A and B are shown apart, each in its own frame.
Chain A
Amino acid sequence: MISLWDTTGDEVVKALSAERRSAGGVTSGLALTLVAVVDEKHVREAEAAATIAAAQHPCRMLMVVRSDVIRDNNRLDAEIVVGGRLGPCEAVVMRMYGRLALHAESVVMPLLAPDVPVVTWWHGEPPDIIAYDFLGVVADRRITDSAQAVSPVAALRQRAEDYAPGDTDLAWTRITPWRTLVAAAFDTLDARVTSARVTAPESDPTGALMMGWLKARLHITPEQVPGGEFKRMREVTLRCDNGDELSLTRDDSVATLHRNGQENRRLPLVRRPLGDELAEELRRLGADPVYAEALGASTGVPGLQERSAIRVHVWKDPAVAGGITVAGTGTANPVDQ
């Protein structure tokens, strides 16, 4: 491990290649570069998640921690870890202070592994508009987590407004086990579904996405019931035209599948650690059309899949009240005033 204090981007690039050489045998495959945008207080959590994910997807991880944007003096601290506590990935954790934090890409761009896909992951409140963050513009895949926003459902709506193919949200990843159970129940169902009910708190983005998915796939409008004291999605009920009813109810890490005329069955529905969710995201480096469909149906924003996958960077200075927005010129970076 090398730690660099008050350093420059150039030094970081040199230190990374030196560390790779001295670690020895680091000719292992590299599938992607993962750029993690994290707050200081979430660094450990993000590192733990990236370690799990990197075990399945060999990657270079660049963690960007921005703080004190309005501070006058700029400073870059970096820590380079190759094959150590972060598992098999080669990682650079960068802390950026002052105006430099707004130009993180100037440090990150030279560190991107040549010609492998870039995935940017915001572990924290997702950005309003991804185009404001150059680290999102340069990425082929963008992963947000609307559950971490102050108002998750509004954040999910914002994701739909701002959507471009290649975006996904971890709220969607979280319902994969649910969707698996619901879809599997359907494998043996021969009737058409006429109505559906999702029991989930109104502030739960996973419930909203579940409803969107059912709506898009089954062409019905599911009804939402607030779950009471249960803080997460509790139940999905489907009614068929032949009178059959099928429901999945979660308690802790078990789901009960109820179907009239059959015994109740208990199925494991385990909450996965963040690292496993991230690993699921990294399996796919293309757009997820099923997510786009569900997100569109959930929020009522049309035409998600027709949007361009390429974003153009928009310069926005958080230090200026309200933020002055100047259209950028694509890859070139406007001069910081």
Chain B
Amino acid sequence: MTNPLRDPQDRRLPRIPEPCALVIFGVTGDLARKKLIPAIYDLTNRGMLPSGFVVLGFARRDWGHDDFEAMAKTAAQEHARTPWREEVWGRLVGSMKFVPGAFDDDAAFDHLGRTLDELRDSHGIHGNAAFYLSIPPAAFPAVLKQLARTGMADNDKAGGWRRVVVEKPFGTDLGSARQLNDLVDDVFTGNDVFRIDHYLGKETVQNILALRFANQLFEPVWNSKYVDSVQITMAEDVGIGTRAAFYDATGTARDVLQNHLLQLLAMVAMEEPTSFDAAEIRAEKLKVLRAITLPQDVAQETVRGQYLAGWVSGERAAAYKDEEGVPPDSKTETYVAVKLGVQNRRWAGVPFYIRAGKRLPRRVTEIAVLFKKAPHLPFHPADVEMLGRNQLVVRVQPDEGVTLKFGSKVPGTAMEVRDITMDFQYGEAFTDTSPEAYERLILDVLIGDRTLFPDAAEVEQSWRVVDPLEAAWKGTTPETYRAGEWGPRAADEMLARDGRRWRRA
């Protein structure tokens, strides 16, 4: 029976999930404390969670419900973006449970299963539960096997839906990603698996689709006839912090290129989906990912870099090799720049330059579409010396917005033309208080909306892009760059060979 109180025209009423439980594995970890629990508090504060909602923490700690609550309260108070209200927390407190145990402990998982069954009646959650695997990938098989063994992953047995949320990294290459996908899809059904790429939860990234497909202005020029090249940048000013073990085994390409950057590329390059249905959008993104072509000469058209000591935002920064936990002969990259192509009618011949790195001058993620120069300029060459390419830039973070760069006359008696940038920024609060990506994504998992989650095929296809690069890089030594520089000199040379240069992001 459809709910008579809901009306598609009633846009004021938010989407609210059915009563359910969210089970977090590894609830004592960084991600859970900094993102997941604060996001749950913020969702509660905004009234987006159903009346029957339970958070179940699972970790290897000798804790009772109270200890878990205390930890969660501190985490929410420190990291929530919405104001602290004791009464909102009061509503959550009664619905937080903790189950102690190790991942190989059968008894602990039986206990978890029993707890879920009890909650079905006491909290009216109808057997609905989402399992959030906030744990290292190495622990996935153990947990998934336990979920399969106890029947907790089974929709029919549970009498409601059972979903699983997986965080990146989705494997370390195509083979391991497949293994992981097979394992997850085996335990849960493919439709119940949600892979989180938190970039897709950002408002500005979703706005790329609105910008492209809601407007008549941009789509006609969104092709190789008018577009010269596309530059996608994801720069971080921080180093690797305490993640040395993970990072040194992973590198920038596997860490961010395989997921975030290729997803951004897919959003920019995809064809119009027939509808905004999750399956349609994924189908179009997958088509673009399949059409990606790799450089013929990997040595010439990709650059790997590793930072040396230097200064970043007024502070001394150590070299990568001197970071704690990094072997002194490490050949892992902290910077990567690649030139990709998209082989279809729309994009043939347009290079997509993608770069990402750590210890760059500032934190910025942006997508710049650079247009070709006008085929003819009826001006004296000296007058248009300062005229560059028209650019449309989508700034993903920070200062979310869109800028458009075009030529304009310099005031005065001479006909001189120079570039001017028109800047659109989202409202102030749009950046400060717009839902944190995790809030949106957790809500979508509980509602069952798959639009913003890459599926197994996309993940595997992305590895097909990164794997050959990794193979070609094997044994090579990354170029070096000083911390606080825009990457190695070789990256500039790579574009210079094509007669282009990196946009200063």
Q: Given that A56-B429, A266-B91, A266-B94 are known contacts, is A183 also in contact with B51, CB under 8 Å in the complex?
A: no
Q: Is B45 an interface residue (CB 8 A)?
A: yes
B77 to chain A, nearest CB (A): 16
B427 touches A188 (CB 8 A): no
A109 to chain B, nearest CB (A): 25
Q: Given that A28-B423, A283-B11 are known contacts, is A187 also in contact with B124, CB under 8 Å in the complex?
A: no
Q: Which of B91-126 contact A (CB under 8 A)?
A: 91, 94, 122-124, 126
Among A27, A187, A266, point to the contact of B423 (Cβ < 8 A).
Answer: A27
B5 touches A179 (CB 8 A): yes
Q: Is A302 an interface residue (CB 8 A)?
A: no
List, in ascending order, chain A residues with CB within 8 A of B11's CB. 283-284
B47 touches A55 (CB 8 A): no
Query: Complex formed: what's the CA distance from A182 to B4 in Å?
Result: 11
A88 touches B428 (CB 8 A): yes
B123 to chain A, nearest CB (A): 7
Among A25, A262, A280, A290, point to the contact of B7 (Cβ < 8 A).
Answer: A290
A268 touches B91 (CB 8 A): yes
Among B6, B12, B16, B427, point to the contact of A57 (Cβ < 8 A).
Answer: B427
List, in ascending order, chain A residues with CB within 8 A of B414's CB. none
Query: Complex formed: what's the CA distance from A190 to B2 in Å?
Result: 9
Q: Is A29 an interface residue (CB 8 A)?
A: yes
- The interface stretch among B25-33, B82-90, B233-241, B471-479 is B82-90
B424 touches A268 (CB 8 A): no
B16 touches A180 (CB 8 A): yes
Query: Complex formed: what's the CA distance from A71 to B502 in Å?
Result: 66
A268 touches B427 (CB 8 A): no
Residues 286-319 of chain A, each 1 if its beta carbon lies under 8 Å from chain B, else 0: 0011100000000000000000000000000000
Q: Which of A184-198 contact B (CB under 8 A)?
A: 184-190, 193
List, in ascending order, chain A residues with CB within 8 A of B51's CB. 181, 184-185, 257, 265, 267
A253 touches B87 (CB 8 A): yes
A187 touches B3 (CB 8 A): yes
List, in ascending order, chain B residues with CB within 8 A of A88's CB. 427-428
Among B3, B87, B430, point to the contact of A252 (Cβ < 8 A).
Answer: B87
List, in ascending order, chain A residues with CB within 8 A of B4's CB. 186, 193, 217-218
Query: Complex formed: what's the CA distance from A262 to B19 in Å?
Result: 13
Q: Is B272 an interface residue (CB 8 A)?
A: no
Who on chain B is nearest to A184 by CB? B16
Among B3, B19, B45, point to the contact of A186 (Cβ < 8 A).
Answer: B3
Query: Complex formed: what's the CA distance from A266 to B88 in Å?
Result: 9
Q: Is A166 an interface residue (CB 8 A)?
A: no
Query: Complex formed: what's the CA distance from A29 to B1 in Å?
Result: 43
List, in ascending order, chain A residues with CB within 8 A of B7's CB. 217, 290
Q: Given that A27-B423, A176-B13, A290-B10 are known contacts, is A270 also in contact with B88, CB under 8 Å in the complex?
A: yes
List, in ascending order, chain B residues with CB within 8 A of A280's CB. 12
Q: Is A263 an interface residue (CB 8 A)?
A: yes
| Count of chain A residues near B, Cβ 8 A | 49
Q: Is A334 an interface residue (CB 8 A)?
A: no
Q: Is the interface of B mostly helix, strand, loop or mixed?
A: loop
Q: Which of A5-37 contact B (CB under 8 A)?
A: 25, 27-29
- Chain B CB within 10 A, most for which of A87, A184, A262: A184
Q: Is B9 an interface residue (CB 8 A)?
A: yes
B19 touches A56 (CB 8 A): no
Who on chain B is nearest to A263 by CB? B122
A233 to chain B, nearest CB (A): 16
Residues 411-437 of chain B, each 1 if its beta carbon lies under 8 Å from chain A, else 0: 000000000001111111110110000
List, in ascending order, chain B residues with CB within 8 A of A177's CB. 47
A183 touches B91 (CB 8 A): no
B47 touches A181 (CB 8 A): yes
Query: Complex formed: what's the CA distance from A254 to B92 in Å?
Result: 12
| Count of chain B residues near A, Cβ 8 A | 42
A262 touches B87 (CB 8 A): no
Q: Which of B32-76 contact A (CB under 8 A)?
A: 44-45, 47, 50-52
Number of A-B contacts (CB under 8 A): 116
Q: Which of B424-453 contact A (CB under 8 A)?
A: 424-430, 432-433
List, in ascending order, chain A residues with CB within 8 A of B16's CB. 180, 183-184, 187
Query: Complex formed: what's the CA distance from A280 to B13 in Å?
Result: 11
Q: Is B14 an interface residue (CB 8 A)?
A: yes
Q: Is A156 an interface residue (CB 8 A)?
A: no
Query: Complex formed: what's the CA distance from A186 to B13 in Å?
Result: 13
A172 to chain B, nearest CB (A): 9
List, in ascending order, chain A residues with CB within 8 A of B3's CB. 183, 186-187, 189
Query: Complex formed: what's the CA distance from A103 to B497 in Å?
Result: 66
Residues 123-158 of chain A, each 1 if its beta carbon lies under 8 Å from chain B, else 0: 000000000000000000000000000000000000
Q: Is A201 an interface residue (CB 8 A)?
A: no
B429 touches A217 (CB 8 A): no
Q: Is B18 an interface residue (CB 8 A)?
A: yes
B13 touches A267 (CB 8 A): no
Query: Complex formed: what's the CA distance from A183 to B4 in Å?
Result: 8
B45 touches A187 (CB 8 A): no
List, in ascending order, chain A residues with CB within 8 A of B432's CB. 55
Who on chain A is nearest to B121 by CB? A262
B50 touches A27 (CB 8 A): no
Query: Complex formed: what's the CA distance from A270 to B48 in Å?
Result: 13
Q: Given that A29-B425, A88-B427 are known contacts, is A190 also in contact with B1, CB under 8 Å in the complex?
A: yes
List, in ascending order, chain B residues with CB within 8 A of A185's CB. 51
A270 touches B85 (CB 8 A): yes
B45 touches A28 (CB 8 A): no
List, in ascending order, chain B residues with CB within 8 A of A27's CB. 422-424
Q: Is A58 an interface residue (CB 8 A)?
A: yes
Residues 68-94 of chain A, each 1 if its beta carbon lies under 8 Å from chain B, else 0: 000000000000000000011000000
List, in ascending order, chain A residues with CB within 8 A of B427's CB. 28, 54-58, 88
Query: Complex formed: what's the CA distance from A212 to B426 in Å?
Result: 37
Query: Complex formed: what's the CA distance from A280 to B46 in Å?
Result: 13
B91 touches A176 (CB 8 A): no
Query: Complex formed: what's the CA distance from A28 to B422 in Å?
Result: 9
Query: Complex formed: what's the CA distance from A254 to B424 in Å?
Result: 40
Query: Complex formed: what's the CA distance from A254 to B123 in Å?
Result: 18
Query: Complex formed: what's the CA distance from A164 to B7 in Å?
Result: 21
A219 to chain B, nearest CB (A): 8
A27 to chain B, nearest CB (A): 6
A239 to chain B, nearest CB (A): 15
Q: Given that A28-B423, A290-B7 are known contacts, is A262 also in contact with B124, CB under 8 Å in the complex?
A: yes
Query: Complex formed: what's the CA distance from A268 to B45 in Å?
Result: 7
Query: Complex formed: what's the CA distance from A189 to B45 in Å?
Result: 24
A297 to chain B, nearest CB (A): 13
List, in ascending order, chain B residues with CB within 8 A of A266's CB. 90-91, 94
B87 touches A87 (CB 8 A): no
A265 to chain B, nearest CB (A): 5
Query: Complex formed: what's the CA distance from A199 to B484 in Å?
Result: 64
4 new A-B contacts, CB < 8 A, other than A29-B424, A184-B51, are: A28-B425, A54-B427, A218-B4, A288-B12
Which 10 pairs show the lowest CB-CB distances between chains A and B?
Answer: A55-B429, A183-B5, A290-B10, A184-B16, A268-B88, A88-B428, A186-B3, A265-B51, A176-B12, A58-B427
6 contacts between A and B (CB under 8 A): A28-B427, A183-B3, A183-B6, A186-B6, A263-B123, A288-B9
Give me the interface of B with A, judged by CB distance under 8 Å: 1, 3-7, 9-14, 16, 18-19, 44-45, 47, 50-52, 85, 87-88, 90-91, 94, 122-124, 126, 422-430, 432-433
